[in-house]
Each structure stands twice: as C-alpha cells, then as structure tokens.
C-alpha cells in the first residue's frame, strides 16, 4: 500500500496536471521567453529549461518572436508629449553660453593689452635755457693748472666754483630742481 493520499491535489494520481504545476509552467515559459519572472521560480527547472533552450538555438530568439516582443513593448510605451514652447525658449541659451565665453575672453585680452602698454609721456613744453659758456679767465686758469703750477691750481678751483654755481642755476631753471 502507498503512503500517497488519492484526495491530495498535489499528488498526480493518473497523469493530470495540477493548477500549481500549470502556473509554474506558465511562469517558466514567460521567464524563458522574456527574461523575467513574476514570482519565485524553482531554480532547478529554470536552469534546466534555459540550458535546453540554449543548446537548441544558441540563445538566439527567432525573428518572429523578437518582432512580437518588440510589438508588445512598443504597445506599452506612452508617447511623450511634445513641448514646442520649451524648445524655442531654450534655443537662445545654446548660443548664449559660447557667445558669453567669447566676450569674456575678448574683455580679458583687452585688459591685458591695456595693462602692458606704457603710459603716454606727459607733454611739457621745455624751457629754453642755455648753459653758461666758460669765460676767458676760467680757460686761462685751466691752461696754467695744466702746466703743473701749484698756485694756478688754487686759482682754477676759485674760477670753477663760480662757473659751477652758474651751471647749477641754469640746470635748476631748466629742470625745476628735480
């Protein structure tokens, strides 16, 4: 005698398929064809079915089936609403960024060029002042000192002192005591 209860729906008494087996088979078909399962699948059945399918066709889906799956996917996709106002309003932004970058680069270049220039000289009308010419007594004292006379050297120093004073006064008038 057998331990199996003939009233138990999970026991196959005469070759019929139970509802649970039918659901598992349908889930297995969906998992193999679409690559996803809605509920937990028996791992050993899924692996065996996938191995058998891969050995038959190398994992390639038939063209008819791929077209059917594509049709199902496209039927489930909602078309995106077009927003023409947004496209037109942002179109100027695509030109603003490069144009702004070029304007900033040009401004930076102008600043660098202006800073590298030397300032223009201030136009000052020169004061025409002639330097004093040495007088004859200074020239005679220089000639005597060149001869090696010690008393002539003292006389040259006195003459040069007066000439230097006149020269400094002329330079002060010309350049303003800078």
| 162 inside domain | yes
Q: Examine residue 112 and state whether it is found in any structural domain, yes or no.
A: no
Would you say 163 and 170 are in contact if contact means Cβ atoms under 8 Å apart? no
Of 58, 74, 90, which residue constitutes the final position of a domain?
74
- φ, ψ for residue 72, nearest 5 deg: -65, -45
Count the domains in the chain. Answer: 2
**What is the extent of the structural domain holding 156?**
136-175
- Looking at the chain, the whole-number percentage of residues with pLDDT higher than 90 is 7
The model's pLDDT over 83-112, given as tens digits with 9 standing for 90+, comes to: 655 566 677 777 788 888 889 999 999 999
Tokens 């060029």 appear where? Answer: 113
Q: Is residue 170 part of a domain?
A: yes
Residue 89 in any domain: the answer is no
For residue 157, is it within any domain? yes
Decide if 28 is inside a domain.
Answer: yes
Assess if residue 122 is contained within a domain. Answer: no
Q: Quick one: average pLDDT of 155-178?
A: 86
pLDDT for the residue numbered 108: 94
Q: Which two tokens stand for residue 24?
A: 């598992």
Residue that terminates a domain, selected from 74, 97, 116? 74
Q: How far, CA to CA in Å, does 73 sit from each of 37, 60, 67, 76, 99? A: 16, 18, 10, 5, 43
154 assigned to some structural domain:
yes
pLDDT at site 1: 44
């Amino acid at each position: 005698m057998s331990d199996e209860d003939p009233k138990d729906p999970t026991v196959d008494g005469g070759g019929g398929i139970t509802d649970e087996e039918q659901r598992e088979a349908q889930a297995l078909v969906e998992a193999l064809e679409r690559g996803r399962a809605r509920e937990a699948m028996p791992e050993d059945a899924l692996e065996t079915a996938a191995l058998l399918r891969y050995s038959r066709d190398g994992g390639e889906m038939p063209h008819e089936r791929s077209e059917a799956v594509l049709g199902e996917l496209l039927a489930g996709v909602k078309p995106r609403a077009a927003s023409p106002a947004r496209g037109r309003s942002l179109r100027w932004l695509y030109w603003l960024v490069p144009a702004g970058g070029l304007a900033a680069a040009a401004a930076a270049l102008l600043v660098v060029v202006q800073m590298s220039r030397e300032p223009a000289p201030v136009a000052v009308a020169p004061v025409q002042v002639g330097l004093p010419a040495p007088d004859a007594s200074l020239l005679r004292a220089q000639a005597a000192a060149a001869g090696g006379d010690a008393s002539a050297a003292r006389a040259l120093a006195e003459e040069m002192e007066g000439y230097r004073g006149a020269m400094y006064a002329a330079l002060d008038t010309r350049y303003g005591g800078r």
